[in-house]
Amino acid sequence: MFLNRLKTFLLLVGLTAIIFAIGGFLGGQTGLAIAFGFAILMNVVTYFFSDKIVLKMYKAQPITKAKAPDIHAMVERLAKKANIPKPKIYLVPTETPNAFATGRNPQNAVVAVTQGIVKLLNKKELEGVLAHELGHVKNRDILISTIAATLAAVIMYVSSMARFAAIFGGFRDDRGGGNIAELLVLAIVAPIAAMLIQFAISRSREFMADATSARLTNEPEHLASALQKLESYAKRMPLRLGNKATASLFIINPLTGKQMMNFFSTHPSTEQRVAKLMAMK
């Protein structure tokens, strides 16, 4: 888990370095300041209201203890073991089996499960999934994702400005005409690099949540079994609600059955995750 934390830190440093590289090349800080301000404002709103937005998007409704006593008992026991407050529990009305966690901090966390996952998994597998989602809460992954999204948004915004400047001749300095081509290359490469880093951070946090689940349950093989079942069903019946922007929230990418190239995926491959979990056993 330490290596994944270190990897996340280094990747965030990488995003920051790209921003400073663009700023240094442009030779002016005004555009960067505007981009930072806009991105921070946008992501502060997302950070504080993402749970409400996502729950509404997926038509999730709270589950009472009377309706799902087993799920409440599992979450309460796991939250106590993780030393975090018990999150609110919601049900998503779809037969596609999946789960996600949201909320800006452990005090305002939500764990949502679909109708399909409750029917598909046995109790031990469902417990492994719930422990994974509590891992996201405990590790403050919503905060980490928001920071990464803010830095990536700044890079996208400034790169877009740089492309227009290069194409329409708005960029001028005394270093020679070749800098137009250099700026255009930077403006194209930087957002791709930012996207790849953001995806790498997401994959790293998934591994961390898996490791947290293994530690909380002491039975990583059940989460491994659950992941294999969930991936199989995601290929056959992808989730029709929501949109691609929220796919990284789920324990398994719910919107497509196709396995993307690892560098361009928000989730590690199920094979990698299962292998790591079984090694923990």
Place of tokens 């939250």: 79
Asked if 206 is an active-site residue, the reply is no
Give the separation between CA 75 and CA 78, rounded to whole angstroms. 5
Q: 133, 206, 219, 231: which one is catalytic?
A: 133
Yes or no: say if 258 and 197 are a contact pair by the CB < 8 Å rule.
Answer: no
Q: Which of 98, 99, 60, 58 is nearest to 236 (CA)?
A: 98
* The length of the chain, given as a count of residues: 281
Structural tokens at position 71:
């799920």
Which residues have CB under 8 Å from 17's CB, separation 6+? none
Q: List the catalytic residues.
A: 133
